[in-house]
Amino acid sequence: MLPLLDAVPAIRGLRGRPRRKPRCLYADRGYDFDKYRRLLWKRGIKPMIARRGVAHGSGLGKVRWVVERASAWLHQFKRLRICYERRADLHQGFLELACSLECFRRLRTSF
C-alpha cells in the first residue's frame, strides 16, 4: 500500500503549491492493521479502513465499487482483458481508446 501511495502524483488545487498526498485513504478489510493506520497518520493522511469482524454499513462500499465497475466496463474489450501487446505504449493507447469509448457511451446515454 505504501509504494502505491508514494506513486500518487501531485494533486492540483485552487492556489498555491500542489498537494503531494491525499487527505484521506479508503481501503478494505485486507488493510486492517494498526501498522498501516499508524504509518498513514504519521504521514498526515486520515485512514478510512474498514474493520474486520464489523458489519457493513461504514459507507466505504459506496466509494469503492466505482473502480470495480470501471474495470468491468473495460473487460468487455478483449484486447485489454487478455494483454496481447508486447509493448507497453500500445497497450496504454488501447486502454486510453477504451476509456474514451466508455466515456462517450455514458455521456450519450445520459442525454
Helix boundaries (H) for the chain:
2-6, 34-42, 60-74, 78-81, 88-110
Judge if 12 and 43 occupy the same domain: yes
What is the structure's pLDDT at 41? 94
In the chain, the amino acid numbered 97 is L
Name the stretches of the chain with pLDDT < 50: none
Pair (30, 41) in one structural domain: yes
Please tell me whether residue 86 adopts helix, strand or coil conformation.
Answer: coil
Same domain? For 15 and 55 the reply is: yes
Domain that holds residue 21: 1-60
pTM: 0.51
* Domain match, 22 and 75 both: no
Statement to judge: residues 71 and 55 lie in one domain: no
- Verify that 73 and 100 share a domain, yes or no: yes
The tens digit of pLDDT for each residue in 35-44 reads 999 999 999 9
Q: Are 55 and 84 in the same domain?
A: no
Helix (H, G, I), strand (E, B) or coil at 27: strand
